[in-house]
Amino acid sequence: MKAFVVEKYGKDGVRAAELPEPPVGDRDVLVRVSAAGINPLDRLVRDGEFTRVLKYKLPFVLGHDVAGVVTRVGSAVRGFEVGDEVYARPRDLRIGGFAEFIAIDMDDVAPKPDSLTLQEAAAVPLVALAARQILVDRAHVQPGQKVLVHGGAGGLGSTVIQLAKHLGATVATTANTDSEKLVRDLGADVVVDYAKDDFSKVLSGYDLVLDSVGGANLEKSLTVLKPGGLAISVVGPPDAGFAKQLGAPFFMGLVMNALSRKVRKKAKSLGVRYEFFFMQANGSQLRELGALYDSGRLRPVIDSTFPFDRTLEAMAHVEQGRTKAGKVVVSMVPDNG
């Protein structure tokens, strides 16, 4: 099969390759990939940012989002049959969406939402799971609470806006002028043009801030929280909770706490909290989210679609910041709806 593999860590470490089809374990679903989503996480894994805690064995196939058709099921698999259209964010150490086939643990797979094409579905799993796990599992967002989402036009931001509104929150977001109509259509109540205004000067009293920028933006985000409020970052710095989530040795938790000491100290001085977030694969949550897509509560936002043989170009498009809104998808087949 054709695939794009990380041969060595670094910007030039990914190449096209011919590989055998992956072996199918008893609990695995073999999926013929129809489309795969591009995520910033692909670049981070490619560059070796998580080698301390995610021990991938080189070479490995890249790609964290996938949609396609089941072609084989393991002997212990229940609930999936050959011919089913599915989507998934395969678990860490078993990624591999940038390939013609991928074997995925059945617990990570869900039926594709009926209302979405396979190409649309490929844009959904990682960002939808992240949005749910941040808003529901971590922050326990309740109706009437205030949520600030940075980068509301992005793949994650656009999904968080929609889900936060579904949960009854008042939602603010940062975006540029060109994206204002989009984020308002998605449900944003307050839009701050980051090119013109400093969000920390115009916003206050928020229960939750989702940061996808890091650095000074994260530190300023702490100041718009109400006492006891929570800032969650998907770009770091990591904390001990991340090490625990990945089952890393105890000393790695100490290392990661050291990396986040500055921001945690500032958060404590302001009477607020900081947490790093790294999403987890979860097929049952994807089933729940699929129902929200089919009901129209959520919709994918897609920037552009590339053919599979231009996967490296698609990655560069994301990495160079050329994405205007939503996700970039690579497709094995034309999207005919």
Chain segment 278-322, per-residue pLDDT in tens: 999 999 999 999 999 999 999 999 999 999 999 999 999 999 988
Do the domain assignments include residue 283? no
Residue bearing tokens 């540029």: 176
* Domain containing residue 312: 2-123+300-331
Average pLDDT for residues 197-221, to the nearest whole number?
A: 95
Has residue 4 got a pLDDT over 50? yes
Same domain for 117 and 145, yes or no, is no
Same domain for 43 and 114, yes or no, is yes
Same domain for 70 and 152, yes or no, is no
CATH number of the structural domain spanning residue 65: 3.90.180.10
Give the pLDDT score at 41. 94
Residue 101, Cβ density class (10 Å: 0-12 exposed, 13-18 middle, ≥19 buried): buried
Q: Report the alpha-carbon distance of residue 62 to residue 67 in Å, rounded.
A: 15
Average pLDDT for residues 121-147, to the nearest whole number?
A: 98
Give the pLDDT score at 305. 97
Same domain for 249 and 151, yes or no, is yes
Do the domain assignments include residue 80? yes
Contact 190, 171 (CB under 8 A): yes
Read off the pLDDT band of 247 (50, 70, 90).
confident
* Residue 334, φ and ψ in degrees, nearest 5: -60, 145
Averaged confidence pLDDT in the chain: 95
Tens-place pLDDT, residues 10-60: 999 999 999 999 999 999 999 999 999 999 999 999 999 988 888 999 999
Q: How many CB atoms lie within 10 A of CB 69?
A: 16
Residue bearing tokens 């980068």: 151
- B/e letters for 281-305, b = 16+ CB within 10 Å, e = fewer, are bbbebbeebbebbeeeebbbbbbbb
- Domain edge (last residue) among 242, 261, 276: 276
Do the domain assignments include residue 289? no
Give the pLDDT score at 158. 97
Same domain for 207 and 269, yes or no, is yes
For residue 140, the SS3 value is coil
Average pLDDT for residues 150-157, to the nearest whole number?
A: 96
Same domain for 56 and 159, yes or no, is no
Give the pLDDT score at 251. 87
Same domain for 102 and 149, yes or no, is no
Do the domain assignments include residue 157? yes
Same domain for 142 and 262, yes or no, is yes
Same domain for 259 and 309, yes or no, is no
CATH number of the structural domain spanning residue 162: 3.40.50.720
Q: How many CB atoms lie within 10 A of CB 76?
A: 10
Do the domain assignments include residue 271? yes
Do the domain assignments include residue 288? no
Do the domain assignments include residue 285? no
Do the domain assignments include residue 284? no
Average pLDDT for residues 107-135, to the nearest whole number?
A: 98
pLDDT-wise least confident of 167-171, 193-197, 237-241, 304-308: 237-241
Of 227 and 55, more confident: 227
Same domain for 11 and 45, yes or no, is yes
Read off the pLDDT band of 334 (50, 70, 90).
low
Read off the pLDDT band of 156 (50, 70, 90).
very high
Tens-place pLDDT, residues 58-105: 999 999 999 999 999 999 999 999 999 999 999 999 999 999 999 999
Average pLDDT for residues 238-262, to the nearest whole number?
A: 87
Same domain for 255 and 143, yes or no, is yes
Find, among 67, 66, 49, 48, the residue nearest to 58 by Cα. 48
Total number of domains in the chain:
2
Give the pLDDT score at 337. 40
Has residue 336 got a pLDDT over 80? no
Same domain for 150 and 110, yes or no, is no
